[in-house]
Structure 1
Amino acid sequence: HSGKYLCAAFREPASRVREVEEENRRIRLQLSQSQGPANQPADGNYGNQQWGASADTGPEDGDNTAEERNNHTECPRSPSVQKCELIHVACVCAGHNASRDVVTLVKSVLFHRRNPLHFHFITDTVAHRILRTLFQSWMVPSVQVSFYDADELKSEVSWIPNKHYSGIYGLMKLTLTKALPADLSKVIVLDTDITFATDIAELWGIFRKFTGEISQVIGLVENQSDWYLGNLWKNHKPWPALGRGFNTGVILLYLERLRRIGWEQMWRLTAERELMSMLSTSLADQDIFNAFIKQNPVLVHQLPCFWNVQLSDHTRSEQCYTEVSDLKVIHWNSPKKLRVKNKHVEFFRNLYLTFLEYDGNLLRRELFGCPSQANPESVRLQAALEELDEDDQCYDFRRERLTVHRVHLYFLQYEYTAAEDGTDVTLVAQLSMDRRTVVQLDMTHTKKALVVPAFETLRYRLSFPKSKAELLSMLDMGTLYTFRYHVWPKGHAPTDYAKWRTATTPYRVEWEADFEPYVVVRRDCPEYDQRFVGFGWNKVSHVLELDAQEFELTVLPNAFMVHMPHAPSFDISKFRSSFGYRNCLNTLKDEFHQDLSRKYGSAALKYLTAQRTA
């Protein structure tokens, strides 16, 4: 069938379809007898003909035969979404790894979206800090973010034994009617290992197809593995499910209707009943959702399988699409993630890596025709940017100073216990932890900047010196040199390498113009001045302000770093080839000195004098 949207049609053996149909008719009969005619949906169908049917056929097809439904080929139109309608998305996100995954998910959603978004994150402390900082620094227009403390929800699900690797957090989607605001009526719920290949508004629009006043409350895609069929291995006993069951990586939750039917009590009763025989869950919330749907099939609206193409072991994901261009959502629901076996796995991997590496600055675009929902800080910065003169040769530098750079925190998990004496040190590439001068010089209570003497080699392969004695030997043999001695000696001359050769204790040096050593300083030191982006004067200006704040420049006698050769950066190439670039840098230096004088008064005049005589 030609067109933009793909019709999904599963063709299972006729005997299996008849078995499931008979089971579902029996369940519908039981529901009608137990609930009475007042609660029975008018159209009498459950879900939307999930077993063997075209995924979005109308309710009037509810009692068609399996053969008639398999031959049904009419493709539905995408449900409409109002322009500028706010779309709500919820995720449970805990830990460093999940935070990294959810960033890629968010990028894929923002890339395709044309509507305002409100993200709802149920997080632990780690994920909360990471994602809060990320969204604050991203400053994406028309995006709202709310956080909910996962610790406050643990008691809701901690009583459920769970063997899934997601642990207790894998059960928290069950609590969303309680966790999310009471006035929130609908939400799209996503696992963190999801990548969107289309506008999420298309998925949001499917809520409009939920039939009846309270009949359909959950939208799900059929499970694409054989897990719930119970035939993966001998004595495999999964939780009860309708047929193949449903995957909960992508869920449409009609919260308003769920609260109306008493969802919290219903899923608890289901879990308690099944745990009497199953003892624990294997697939976390998915097991309980499926057991609930098995008892209440009328409440589910089956989504076309391209809304959750599941790349896990034992799946039939290739049956969801004829061309990869038909895909909507890719779900990496396997511990193997990018190493799963699929004939289109390279396409999927490249799509994931595209968003993983995508420059988030490109997502800071306003939504055309929608009222701006930018925060006050974003409005202020935008106004400041508009005041800049685009014809100014230093425009790029000035714009960069006003730009809020995106921040990603702690992408690698680490174990850390704070030192009781307050002498914690952040590990930088040039610093090894077997030195501690930090304690001896009482850096916690004094203002010191510890200078790490810098050397360099012109060789791309070097056996790194393991001691000061070995480094001095390499220096004498010409294998190493003092840093930039042949092109920029002023940058490190105040370190006094001659004195360092024989020094056994730290020694103080005085600031000189253009001094740019590598230093170890306290966290509360002045930050780098953002006007000096690219190449030139970033470390110089930083050390200059350290001196202005009366930090003592103290050279470490046994510490050292070695600079390795590398290709020139784009900015240093511009500095070397462009007179305008160098002239602009001089302009920025003068402005920095003027700002320094206003900040520190007459004491800062020495820096301007030294600069002019240098």
Structure 2
Amino acid sequence: MFHFLVMSGINFFSAENLELCLGYVLVFCNDSVHIELSTTPFCCWTSWHGQLVSLFYHFARKTVVFLAAFGMLLLYLNVLQFIMKDYNFCSFHSGLIHVACVCAGHNTSRDVITLVKSILFHRKNPLHFHFITDAVAHKILAPLFQSWLVPSLQVSFYDADNLKPEVAWVPNKHYSGIYGLMKLTLTKALPTDLAKVIVLDTDITFATDIAELWAVFRKFSGPQAIGLVENQSDWYLGNLWKNHKPWPALGRGFNTGVILLLLDRLRRIDWEQMWRLTAERELMSMLSTSLADQDIFNAVIKQNPFLVHQLPCFWNVQLSDHTRSEQCYTEVSDLKVIHWNSPKKLRVKNKHVEFFRNLYLTFLEYDGNLLRRELFGCPSQPSSESLRLQSALEELDEDDQCYEFRRERITVHRVHLYFLQYEYTPTEDDADVTLVAQLSMDRLQMLEAICKHWEGPISLALYMSDAEAQQFLRYGQASEVLKNRKNVGYHVVYKEGQFYPVNLLRNIALRHVNTPYVFLADVDFLPMYGLYSYLRKSITQLDMSHTKKALVVPAFETLRYRLSFPKSKAELLSMLDMGTLYTFRYHVWTKGHAPTNYAKWRTATTPYKVEWECDFEPYVVVRRDCPEYDQRFVGFGWNKVSHIIELDAQEYDLVILPNAFMIHMPHAPSFDISKFRSSSSYRYCLSMLKEEFHQDLSRKYGAAALKYLTAERNI
């Protein structure tokens, strides 16, 4: 052996000979090379280096045979040359792993994120996700991945509507509906140059590096083109209940929650024609599928057993009610992939279910920001957004006293739109209005009350951690009030940084409004009963579609946690006179709402116009194409004031509504207002941001903007 090593020199180190050398195995997957010792893959050339140096030292010390040691040194040098010259282990091409999922609707769009987190947590390779989505899932997932900024990750979307004609003719009783059949179409849906792909259900959790599963492709032999784990229930044996007649299957059948597909082989044997003919034949007697695509895959394999490569059961440990999954593994450490393939999901019965549940919850509540890490030794081409962010960061001065404020402005937060089920039907009068607000976890209790006071559509941005988002999900699913409201869009913005990004949250809620008008409110306020219908009438009467108007809803407050909410303006005035209610912030920040002219409002019966004044920050109704909020203002201070200035600069008329009101409910001071009150540095930075805002305003609106700076300096 060693004589052969020395004599053959550099020509020896072909891929074929390396497979025979000293128990090392070269694993080829998607043109990438991995070295394996036992079952551990080494994905970067540094692992080759360490293993071979150790091996060289071992032989030199143990055998004291110079020829052997010299041969091993040649092996090391030539393998290193082989790697560096012919292969780039961590390039986006050679190490790229392709994963496909079918994803439709709000719930599945949430579930798939837990799957993605579990994959990203363990992975050491670049990934390319291929999502077959409906319009809802695409609207959610596209901005989510765009804002996630995960390095070495590509995402592609394919419209499920284009694939529906391929499978719509197949009757399906499974709860997944037509989307449960979409995996049959992947040879057509995915790019023709894509040779192989791992296909996953969204209720999967990975407990290992997905590269290990990808490496199984090399074990396919002959005509094998589909890798599957045997079904771990007795479903296809037909003995679960009397007269149970399942689709035909090979033995116990196979589960399609995890599939390895050699797409190029399937295309060569005309997979589309094969599954169609099989389905047509079986449907004549079965009438419909019970387990969606799984029934058809099994029927095809029954007729063509050569197609299947059986995967070890730990690649799909199935946790449905009738499975015998515990027979698949001896220790929970043996697990690779957990499949929650039961409508009961986490409530399924299994003796190790607590372990499985904890593993799932780990990724469910895991901070997704931590998955933005670079892959060591695997550089990738950064996205345009990453380059823009890096450039903006380099322009900041870290010695600047207000560095953290300026950095917050360019921070990219992960955004999960429409976190819960959302439905909206446009009104015929084209005067519909959405209440827009933002909140954090400590204001969650206001949601039910707001929904009771406002029957119209609502757009909310919620600032939460991953764990808090799951708390909110449980709260929303348990609340009878929230469950019955489908016209509320909940948009989760994940926490990052030390400040509360109030204006970013407002802008996200504003951007995802479906009505022509918006009521820009805060979550601490309860609108008067009937305000929704009153605003719609006012919008029409004041011809807002053809004029620039901002309708002001006068704000009041109570210091009582329990309030008998006034049902009319007359009741409100009575409570105002009795001291139960006050004009908003009259004792703390009178200027904020003084231009409303509450004295005039008491007797007003028609809308009246007011002029802008310094520090005016009313709550207004405007067209949804209004200016966005200035995101430089975070935490406490000037976040609404700056927006009203912008409206005035764009010549919006401020019109007070005579029969509208909203009441601020008491709550503990926010963390940001506490910092404002206690930190001179915080107040200094806010003044600097105000100065820069005025400068930008002057550049944007010219001399007309000088009045705002003058008013500010005259205070």
Task: Note if 1:454 corresponds to 2:555.
Answer: yes
Cα 1:187/1:600, change in 2 over 3 Å: same
Instruction: Give the equivalent residue in structure 2 for 1:166.
Output: 176
How many residue pairs get aligned? The number is: 538
How many Å apart are 1:251 and its aligned residue?
Answer: 1.1
Distance 1:581 1:313 in 2: 57
Cα 1:255/1:450, change in 2 over 3 Å: same
Match of 1:235 among 240, 243, 247: 243
Task: Note if 1:135 corresponds to 2:145.
Answer: yes
Query: Match for 1:303: what amino acid?
Result: L
Task: Note if 1:198 corresponds to 2:208.
Answer: yes
Instruction: Give the equivalent residue in structure 1 for 2:703.
Output: 602
Cα 1:351/1:395, change in 2 over 3 Å: farther
How many Å apart are 1:499 and its aligned residue?
Answer: 2.1
SS in 2 for 1:145: strand
SS in 1 for 2:245: coil
Match of 2:595 among 477, 494, 497: 494
Match of 1:77 among 39, 42, 47: 39
Instruction: Give the equivalent residue in structure 1 for 2:532.
Output: 433
User: For the Cα contact (< 8 Å) 1:162–1:280, is it kept in 2?
Assistant: yes
Task: Note if 1:304 corresponds to 2:266.
Answer: no
Distance 1:362 1:537 in 2: 32
How many Å apart are 1:325 and its aligned residue?
Answer: 4.4
Match of 2:194 among 175, 181, 184: 184
Considering Cα pairs closer than 8 Å and 6+ residues apart, tell me whether 1 or 2 has the greater RCO.
Answer: 1
User: For the Cα contact (< 8 Å) 2:649–2:701, is it kept in 1?
Assistant: yes
Give the 5 Å matches for 1:513-552. Answer: 513-552=614-653
User: For the Cα contact (< 8 Å) 1:217–1:301, is it kept in 2?
Assistant: yes
Query: TM-score normalized by structure 2?
Result: 0.71
SS in 2 for 1:451: strand
Query: Match for 1:427: what amino acid?
Result: L
Distance 2:364 2:159 in 1: 26
Cα 1:152/1:603, change in 2 over 3 Å: same
Query: Match for 1:382: what amino acid?
Result: Q
User: For the Cα contact (< 8 Å) 2:102–2:201, is it kept in 1?
Assistant: yes
User: For the Cα contact (< 8 Å) 1:240–1:294, is it kept in 2?
Assistant: yes
How many Å apart are 1:606 and its aligned residue?
Answer: 0.9
How many Å apart are 1:265 and its aligned residue?
Answer: 1.6
Instruction: Give the equivalent residue in structure 1 for 2:377.
Output: 369
Cα 1:339/1:516, change in 2 over 3 Å: farther
User: For the Cα contact (< 8 Å) 1:137–1:405, is it kept in 2?
Assistant: yes
Query: Match for 2:139: what amino acid?
Result: R
User: For the Cα contact (< 8 Å) 1:422–1:444, is it kept in 2?
Assistant: no
Instruction: Give the equivalent residue in structure 2 for 1:469.
Output: 570
Instruction: State which drifts further: 281-290 or 238-247.
Output: 238-247
Instruction: Give the equivalent residue in structure 1 for 2:48.
Output: none
Cα 1:342/1:564, change in 2 over 3 Å: farther
SS in 2 for 1:97: helix
How many Å apart are 1:516 and its aligned residue?
Answer: 1.6
Query: Match for 2:552: what amino acid?
Result: V
> 1:203-234 CA distances to partner (integer Å, 9 max, x unpaired)?
2222122233x3x2112222222222222221
SS in 2 for 1:114: coil
How many Å apart are 1:483 and its aligned residue?
Answer: 1.9
Task: Note if 1:400 corresponds to 2:501.
Answer: no
Match of 2:420 among 412, 432, 440: 412
Instruction: Give the equivalent residue in structure 2 for 1:66.
Output: none
Distance 1:511 1:351 in 2: 56
Instruction: Give the equivalent residue in structure 1 for 2:226.
Output: 218
Instruction: Give the equivalent residue in structure 2 for 1:3.
Output: none
SS in 1 for 2:175: coil
Percent identity over the alignment?
85
How many Å apart are 1:344 and its aligned residue?
Answer: 4.0
Cα 1:121/1:488, change in 2 over 3 Å: same
Instruction: Give the equivalent residue in structure 2 for 1:34.
Output: none
Instruction: Give the equivalent residue in structure 2 for 1:553.
Output: 654
SS in 2 for 1:195: strand
Structure 1: stretches of 5+ with no match in the other structure: 1-74
User: For the Cα contact (< 8 Å) 2:90–2:379, is it kept in 1?
Assistant: no
Match of 1:252 among 257, 260, 263: 260
> 1:451-508 CA distances to partner (integer Å, 9 max, x unpaired)?
2222222233334333333333333333332222222222222222222222222222
Query: Match for 2:112: what amino acid?
Result: V
Cα 1:335/1:547, change in 2 over 3 Å: same
Query: Match for 1:150: what amino acid?
Result: A
Query: Match for 2:293: what amino acid?
Result: D
Instruction: State which drifts further: 80-89 or 531-540.
Output: 80-89
> 1:544-602 CA distances to partner (integer Å, 9 max, x unpaired)?
11111111112222222222233333322222221111111111111111111111111
Distance 1:290 1:278 in 2: 14
Distance 1:550 1:324 in 2: 67
Q: Tell me how large the CA RMSD over aligned residues is.
A: 2.2
Instruction: Give the equivalent residue in structure 2 for 1:281.
Output: 289
Distance 1:273 1:234 in 2: 24
Instruction: Give the equivalent residue in structure 1 for 2:348.
Output: 340
Instruction: State which drifts further: 322-331 or 95-104.
Output: 322-331
User: For the Cα contact (< 8 Å) 1:79–1:208, is it kept in 2?
Assistant: no
Instruction: State which drifts further: 541-550 or 401-410.
Output: 401-410
> 1:143-165 CA distances to partner (integer Å, 9 max, x unpaired)?
21111121111111111111111
Instruction: Give the equivalent residue in structure 2 for 1:111.
Output: 121
Instruction: Give the equivalent residue in structure 2 for 1:31.
Output: none
Match of 2:682 among 572, 578, 581: 581
> 1:244-302 CA distances to partner (integer Å, 9 max, x unpaired)?
22211111111112112221121112212211211110010010111112222232222
Instruction: Give the equivalent residue in structure 2 for 1:126.
Output: 136
Instruction: State which drifts further: 409-418 or 230-239.
Output: 409-418
Distance 2:572 2:637 in 1: 28
SS in 2 for 1:396: helix
Cα 1:111/1:516, change in 2 over 3 Å: farther
Query: Match for 2:39: what amino acid?
Result: R
Structure 2: stretches of 5+ with no match in the other structure: 1-36, 44-88, 437-449, 451-520, 522-526
Match of 2:217 among 175, 194, 207: 207
Instruction: State which drifts further: 324-333 or 127-136.
Output: 324-333
Distance 2:618 2:333 in 1: 53
User: For the Cα contact (< 8 Å) 1:79–1:209, is it kept in 2?
Assistant: no
User: For the Cα contact (< 8 Å) 1:91–1:189, is it kept in 2?
Assistant: yes
Cα 1:565/1:301, change in 2 over 3 Å: farther
